[in-house]
Amino acid sequence: MLKSTGQPDLAIEAVGLTKTYAASKKMPAKQALKGIDLAIPRGSVFGLLGPNGAGKSTFINILAGLVNKTSGTVNIWGVNADKQPRESRAALGVVPQEINMDPFFTPREILELMAGFYGVPSSERRTDEILDALGLGDKKHAYVRQLSGGMKRRLMVAKALVHTPPILILDEPTAGVDVELRRSLWEYVRKLNAAGTTIVLTTHYLEEAQEMCDTIAIINHGAVAACEPTPNLLKRLNYKTLVVRPDPAVTVIPAALRDLDPVLRKDGQIAITYRTGEHSVEKLIVRLRGANIDIGDLATEEPDLEDVFVALTSG
Q: Is the pLDDT of residue 40 over 60?
A: yes
Please report the pLDDT score of residue 238 as a whole number.
81
Q: What CATH number is given to the structural domain containing 261?
A: 3.30.70.100
pLDDT, average across residues 112-116: 95
Percent share of the chain, pLDDT over 70: 98
Please report the pLDDT score of residue 204 as a whole number.
87
Q: Is the pLDDT of residue 6 over 90?
A: no
pLDDT, average across residues 68-78: 97
Q: Is the pLDDT of residue 159 over 90?
A: yes
Please report the pLDDT score of residue 256 as a whole number.
93
Please report the pLDDT score of residue 181 as a whole number.
81
Please report the pLDDT score of residue 315 as a whole number.
61
Q: Is the pLDDT of residue 24 over 60?
A: yes
Q: Would residue 308 count as lying in a domain? A: yes
Q: Would residue 65 count as lying in a domain? A: no
Q: Would residue 294 count as lying in a domain? A: yes
CB within 8 Å of 203: residues ≥ 6 apart = 47, 49, 170, 172, 173, 174, 209
Instruction: Return the minimum-mean-pLDDT range out of 105-109, 179-183, 284-288.
Output: 179-183
Please report the pLDDT score of residue 2 as a whole number.
53
Ramachandran region of residue 246, left (φ > 0), alpha (ψ -120 to 50) or beta?
beta
Q: Is the pLDDT of residue 284 over 90?
A: yes
Please report the pLDDT score of residue 45 as a whole number.
97
CB within 8 Å of 87: residues ≥ 6 apart = 2, 3, 5, 79
Angle at the Cα of 259 from the Cα atoms of 256 and 263, rounded to 5 degrees: 90
pLDDT, average across residues 251-271: 93
Of 277 and 128, the one with more pLDDT: 128
Q: Is the pLDDT of residue 98 over 90?
A: no
β-bridge pairing 198-202 and 215-220: unpaired
Q: Would residue 134 count as lying in a domain? A: no
Instruction: Return the minimum-mean-pLDDT range out of 48-57, 69-78, 283-292, 301-310.
Output: 301-310
Residue 270's domain spans which residues? Answer: 239-313
Domain count, the chain: 1
Of 139, 140, 211, 143, which Cα lies nearest the Cα of 174? 211
Q: Is the pLDDT of residue 81 over 60?
A: yes
Q: What is the DSSP letter of 277?
A: T
Q: Would residue 164 count as lying in a domain? A: no
Q: Would residue 116 count as lying in a domain? A: no
Please report the pLDDT score of residue 234 as a whole number.
86
Q: Would residue 83 count as lying in a domain? A: no
Q: Is the pLDDT of residue 302 over 90?
A: no
Average pLDDT score over the chain = 92
The model's confidence at residue 149, banded by pLDDT at 50, 70 and 90, is: confident
Please, are residues 273 and 240 in contact by the beta-carbon 8 Å criterion? yes
> DSSP per residue over 138-178, as a string?
GGTTS-GGGS-HHHHHHHHHHHHTTT--SEEEEESTTTT--
Q: Would residue 47 count as lying in a domain? A: no
Question: What is the distance between the alpha carbons of residues 255 and 301, in angstroms, rounded to a whole number?
Answer: 24
Tally of CB atoms within 10 A around 272? 20
Please report the pLDDT score of residue 226 as a whole number.
94
pLDDT, average across residues 93-112: 92
Q: What is the DSSP letter of 103?
A: T
